[in-house]
């Protein structure tokens, strides 16, 4: 298999992943969240506590816009800021109790859809899938550097 075919397979795979991501997360977010706000909450849920700068970097948005969205989310009582002991310029953000509840609910529904996709897989297939996830994560979808 030459580079061109390999690349084509890669593109088809990315398309499939994005498609499935959409299916699996469709309608899980509350209606009074914008897509950007939901995405930020997902990031906080997985990585908390995070600073505003980290959100800005990882969500590819400017600091002013990040600040604005976090402010809105705080006003909706979904997250809260608190001081970083070592550096008083920084602010950590974490989910509020209400935010945790909302995100737990969202992840539960996503997990159910994910499991539904695997419902016909045998034990060996599940192990095969797990190994494949590891291989791609470490060898192709690794992050940063190099």
Partner DNA sequence: CGATTTGCTTATCAAATGATAAGTAAAGAG
Partner DNA sequence: CTCTTTACTTATCATTTGATAAGCAAATCG
Interface residues with DNA (CB under 7 A) are 34-37, 51-53, 56, 61-71, 81, 87-91
CB atoms within 10 A of CB 70: 22
Q: Looking at beta carbons only, is 39 or 45 nearer to DNA?
A: 39
| Contacting range for its own copies; rule: CB under 8 A; set: 28-36, 63-71, 86-94, 133-141 | 133-141
φ/ψ of 145, rounded to 5, equals 20, -160
Helix H or strand E segment including 92? strand 91-95
DSSP-derived secondary structure for 46-84? HH-SEEHHHHHHHTT--HHHHHHHHHHHHHTTSEEEEE-
Stretch that binds its own copies, among 18-26, 29-37, 67-75, 78-86 (CB under 8 A): 18-26
Q: Which stretch binds its own copies (CB under 8 A): 66-74, 76-84, 93-101, 128-136?
A: 128-136
Counting contacts by CB under 8 A, is residue 121 touching its own copies?
A: yes
């Amino acid at each position: 298999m030459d580079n061109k075919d390999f690349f084509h397979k890669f593109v088809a795979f990315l398309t499939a992943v994005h498609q499935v991501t959409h299916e699996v997360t469709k309608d899980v977010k509350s209606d009074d969240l914008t897509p950007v706000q939901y995405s930020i909450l997902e990031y906080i849920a997985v990585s908390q506590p995070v600073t505003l700068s980290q959100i800005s970097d990882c969500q590819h948005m400017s600091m002013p816009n990040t600040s604005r969205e976090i402010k809105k989310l705080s006003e909706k009582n979904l997250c809260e800021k608190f001081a970083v002991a070592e550096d008083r310029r920084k602010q950590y953000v974490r989910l509020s109790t209400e935010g945790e509840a909302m995100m737990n609910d969202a992840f539960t529904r996503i997990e159910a859809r994910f499991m539904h996709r695997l419902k016909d897989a045998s034990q060996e297939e599940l192990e095969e899938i797990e190994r494949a996830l590891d291989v791609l994560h470490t060898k192709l979808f690794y992050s940063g550097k190099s």
